[in-house]
A = this chain, B = another copy of it.
Amino acid sequence: MTTQGTNLDQRYSHYADRTAGLAASEVRALFAVASRPEVVSLAGGMPFVSALPKELVSGAMERVMRDSGPAALQYGSGQGLPQLREQILEVMALEGIRAGVDDLVVTTGSQHALELITKLFVNPGDVVLAEAPSYVTALTVFKSFQAEVAHVAMDDFGLVPQALRETIERVRAEGKPIKFLYTIPTFSNPAGVTLTWERRLEILEICRSNDILVLEDNPYGLLYFEGQPPHAMRSVEEDGVIYLGTFSKTLAPGFRVGWALAPHAIREKIILANEAAVLSPSSFTQYVIHEYLSGSDWKGQIDTFRGVYRERRDAMLHALGDYLPDLSWTNPAGGFYVWVTLPENLDSKSMLPRAVKELVAYTPGTAFYADGSGRNKIRLSFCYPTPDFIREGIRRLSTVINGELELLTTFSQTAPLPVVRDSSLINPPANLS
């Protein structure tokens, strides 16, 4: 029946304008290689789900099928299972949040909340404020709705309030609408830093007085390594904050269950957008999590995860101190990530193929900026590999970095640096291997 040949791009001109912004990550192909078992991957953000006893999940599933089978197999509410929403309130209470069960919308991971909220707010050309660096797939979502991202500087204490003021002023002077400030204030991805309490208050005040919504993304807050979990920004401000949470890091990402907590009018819109997008989030995985929370020591399980990640954080920081003492890096008090600054003249993206050749992978800094910044930054994840592998990974990384620096020194005395492209990964040019 097909009379015309298959032209791979034949439909290209039919796409929506927003689709031009959707491109595969430049390092995607590389990460396929980096997933080979001999590579120590410090690149991904996969939680260490093996620290979750199988029987806790199996037991929850059995109870679901015994007690709630038909409901778990059926379509559900676009807002999410009420009894699970009740339990989410208990989870959020650990971070000082008080809310009602009607204020919550369950989503297909908190990623989908990001997508729905961006769909609800962003016209093409609208500005989203985002800390620099920001979570890579949030940037992808913003771009997919044609938002312009205006980055706001961070330091070791999180977003810099003065930088926020200046960015708002600059964007407004350009006449562009600002839709929200996107931030991961606690154990940020990728920077691994935490916004101080004083700054939380100051930033809320800046946003309030400028009528800017805060989109507080908090996947890691309960994975704190010392003391108590930092209180969320949402704990002090209801009207101006949409809070995103997830079970992906405290339980398992395979269920794809997250949530948004939003002021009434916005929450209603999120429900409608959720219904349009997926009808309802999975009843089945919501019931399983509901039974897990009802029948297990879930707080004890989070403590187990905290212990696992604390040990790995320590392994990474010690290894960095031992093998790369001349670099600087952040000192995360929780979460999954350390953010490392390489010498100014190194390019972490062009170095990545050589790192993979040395059997270690990381995420290049440029992935976390909308504007091409971050060339000499890298994100290292300590969430997935064991401490021994982390140490070995950092050792390999030090070999790569030192080799790169040596190369730079050699070439800078004689000739400009050779251009190295990602496509050199599989077969690096002989002169560089």
Residues of A participating in the B interface, judged by any CB pair closer than 8 Å: 1-4, 6, 8-12, 14-19, 22-24, 46-47, 49-50, 52, 54, 57-58, 61-62, 65, 69-76, 108-109, 111-112, 115, 119-123, 126, 137, 140-141, 144-145, 177, 179, 201, 204, 208, 213, 236-240, 248, 252-256, 263-266, 268-269, 272-273, 275-285, 287-288
A54 near B69 with CB under 8 A, answer yes
On chain B, the residues within 8 Å of A140 by CB distance are 275-276
Query: Within the complex, what minimum Cβ distance (angstroms) separates A227 from chain B?
Result: 23
Residue among A2, A72, A204, A288 with most chain B CB within 10 A: A2
A19 near B269 with CB under 8 A, answer yes
Cα–Cα, bound, A65→B53 (Å): 11
B111 near A265 with CB under 8 A, answer no
B14 near A72 with CB under 8 A, answer no
Q: List 23 A-B contacts (CB under 8 A).
A: A1-B201, A4-B208, A6-B239, A14-B213, A15-B121, A17-B123, A50-B70, A54-B69, A57-B65, A73-B253, A74-B252, A75-B248, A75-B254, A108-B108, A108-B278, A108-B281, A109-B278, A137-B275, A140-B275, A141-B277, A144-B276, A254-B287, A256-B279
Cα–Cα, bound, A179→B11 (Å): 10
On chain B, the residues within 8 Å of A47 by CB distance are 74
Residue of B nearest to A282 (CB): B256
On chain B, the residues within 8 Å of A123 by CB distance are 16-18
A254 near B76 with CB under 8 A, answer yes
Cα–Cα, bound, A24→B265 (Å): 13
Cα–Cα, bound, A115→B252 (Å): 26
Cα–Cα, bound, A18→B121 (Å): 9
Query: Within the complex, what minimum Cβ distance (angstroms) separates A91 from chain B?
Result: 18
Cα–Cα, bound, A268→B264 (Å): 37
On chain B, the residues within 8 Å of A141 by CB distance are 276-277
A239 near B22 with CB under 8 A, answer no
A265's contact among B12, B281, B282, B283, by CB below 8 Å, is which? B12
On chain B, the residues within 8 Å of A57 by CB distance are 65, 69, 73
On chain B, the residues within 8 Å of A49 by CB distance are 69-70, 73-74
Cα–Cα, bound, A278→B75 (Å): 19
Query: Within the complex, what minimum Cβ distance (angstroms) separates A171 from chain B?
Result: 14
B285 near A282 with CB under 8 A, answer yes
A252's contact among B1, B73, B248, B277, by CB below 8 Å, is which? B73
Cα–Cα, bound, A359→B212 (Å): 48
Cα–Cα, bound, A388→B108 (Å): 38
Q: A8-B265, A15-B121, A238-B2 are in contact. Are A73 and B276 (CB under 8 A)?
A: no
Residue of B nearest to A16 (CB): B123
Query: Within the complex, what minimum Cβ distance (angstroms) separates A18 from chain B?
Result: 7
A23's contact among B111, B137, B144, B272, by CB below 8 Å, is which? B272
On chain B, the residues within 8 Å of A108 by CB distance are 108, 256, 277-278, 281-282
Residue of B nearest to A111 (CB): B279
B120 near A19 with CB under 8 A, answer yes
Q: A16-B119, A65-B61 are in contact. Are A284 and B8 (CB under 8 A)?
A: no
